[in-house]
Amino acid sequence: MQRTGDFAAALGSAGERLTQPRALVAELVASREGPFTARDVVSEGSVGPPPVARATVFRTLELFERLGLLERLDLPDGSHAYVRCLPSHHHHVVCVRCARTVDIPDSGLQGVTSEIARSTGFHLQGHRLELFGLCPECQAATGSPKGAVRADRAAKEDGRGTPDAGPAR
């Protein structure tokens, strides 16, 4: 994944300065494994000399996201986290129990988005796909069958509604 130097190079290529606070945020982010929140970075950044201000952390994470160094995940509970990303277009599968994140390739979504653009007349400028479930380790820990999809969620997603509530509206 990224090293601190990757952040410095991306900032320089974008005409942005590598200030000491940005370098500290880059160091904290580069050392992380898996998803993390802005609050995690604020907590870690407030400890060292010099401490990094909360606003600086948020602005720097947003900048790193714009530069493609991070991707923001919108989690099922309404909160969000960040993950370090590959430079190529991809999507994520996120474990709802342990927050493990796996990058997945396009997997044929380009054809779907092309058809949506054609049928709606929209000029699509981008998309994001985040899939949520239990990773293999959490399935084993909870006794969930591998690859299982909750029937009520699957029914909603394919337009059948929930088993008890009738068709989705």
Residue 153 within a domain: no
Residue 144 within a domain: no
Res 2: pLDDT: 55
β-pairing, 70-74 vs 101-104, is unpaired
Q: Is 37 exposed, middle or buried (0-12, 13-18, 19+ CB in 10 A)?
A: middle
Residue 32 within a domain: yes
State which residues form the domain around 101.
4-133
Q: Domain count of the chain?
A: 1
The span from the CA of 114 to the CA of 25, in Å, is 38
Task: Assess whether pLDDT exceeds 80 at residue 89.
Answer: no
Mean residue pLDDT of the chain comes to 80
Residue 145 within a domain: no
Task: Assess whether pLDDT exceeds 60 at residue 132.
Answer: yes
Residue 158 within a domain: no
